[in-house]
Amino acid sequence: MPRTIRDVVFVDGVRTPFGKAGPKGIYHETRADDLVVKAIRELLRRNPDLDPAKIDEVAVAATTQIGDQGLTLGRTAGILAGLPQSVPGYSIDRMCAGALTAVTSTAGSIAFGAYDVVVAGGVEHMGRHPMGEGVDPNPRFVSEKLVDESALFMGMTAENLHDRYPTITKERADAYAVRSQEKAAKAYANGTIQQDLVPVAVRRTNEEGGETGWGLVTADEPMRPGTTMGSLAGLKTPFRPHGRVTAGNAAGLNDGATASLLAAEDVARELGLPVRMRLVSYAFAGVEPEVMGYGPIPATEKALAKAGLTIEDIGLFEINEAFAVQVLAFLEHYGIADDDDRVNQYGGAIAYGHPLASSGVRLMTQLARQFEEHPEVRYGLTTMCVGFGMGATVVWENPHFENAGGSK
């Protein structure tokens, strides 16, 4: 019998504060799966009307699926978080777009009718598991010239994107990075970001590895408020001599986890769950791996076409800031100003950090907050570039939309 496609909604999203990867980072002594557990438990705490037994799936993404990021995280983290053993789970990998893909994959299943309510998110502990750990790229990629060797190094792909867009100078990238830090600091000052952070208790150690006690992490560690053009000007360009990509105009190496609740809209309303965003369309696209950062452009083209919309219909943008040049290329393609106030209103990954597979849900959580603040905006999108030459875009509708004057 024919099935009716159901509307899918974003009910809620949370994340741990993001940390700096490495021995001095806040999560050096914290397991990756425990970060996921904290996020899932926070979702349940914030939505007490949801019976955990009604969760149909737990999809958790990780790019490096070994150690404490292995063993089918969706299932193991669900059990560790106290979900009933009847709730299944699985892991997913699409590099940087892992959590975003966890959302779209489970959303498709909700629309089809296989699920009613799901948990979708991601984690990356780059301190424990650096990107590429244990990976063995097939030598044919380079020997048969299937891809340029630079495709294996994300920073080099960002330099390649600068080559593709010669008008995007290092100065423009640095200026964008300064604005990201300023917007993030303002969002913190307004108490906006903290609303969706789950505090994490961490064990602290000294340089000799001895325990020095416990602490509570309540804020993102990578942020650099007070960043100026002057402080960025002299930074090294590690991916190319006299290059344009620096630690200041790119996201760092980070640790963190995210989790979201998705549901069929009729089920959400029946259970009394909030409806914070309505999914409109999504799309993924491939591009040359050596210019990975170009990916959001064709992915957005596809997602807009599927939705019957144009870029002019989008009133808010959440674009992952893996590198400033990647955001600027997107904006330049669409004729959007570098400082357009519709873009990353709370700042982005250059300030907060980018724990690879977790970041997609951070974008969604921030867009949901902006929808609440902007009932005049009907449509927004979350988009990101993806390692090895891909892009991912999700278009969302604001359920709080009030068409007061024909605004988007």
Give me the active site residues, please. Answer: 96, 354, 385
Residues 6+ apart with CB under 8 A from 347: 179, 180, 181, 182, 183, 184, 185, 186, 187
Q: Three-state secondary structure along 228-266?
A: CHHHHHCCCCCCCCCCCCCCCCECCCEEEEEEEEEEEHH
Tell me how many degrees the CA angle 336-339-344 measures, rounded to the nearest 5: 90
Q: Cα 268 to chain center, whole Å?
A: 24
Give the Å distances, CA to CA, from 84 to 37, 72, 219, 271. 14, 16, 31, 19
3-state secondary structure of 401: coil
* CA 260 to centroid of chain Cα atoms: 12
Quote the CA–CA distance of 326 and 354 in Å, as a whole number: 14
Whole-angstrom distance, CA of residue 26 vs CA of residue 6? 41
**41 Cβ neighbours under 8 A, 6+ residues apart:** 81, 82, 198
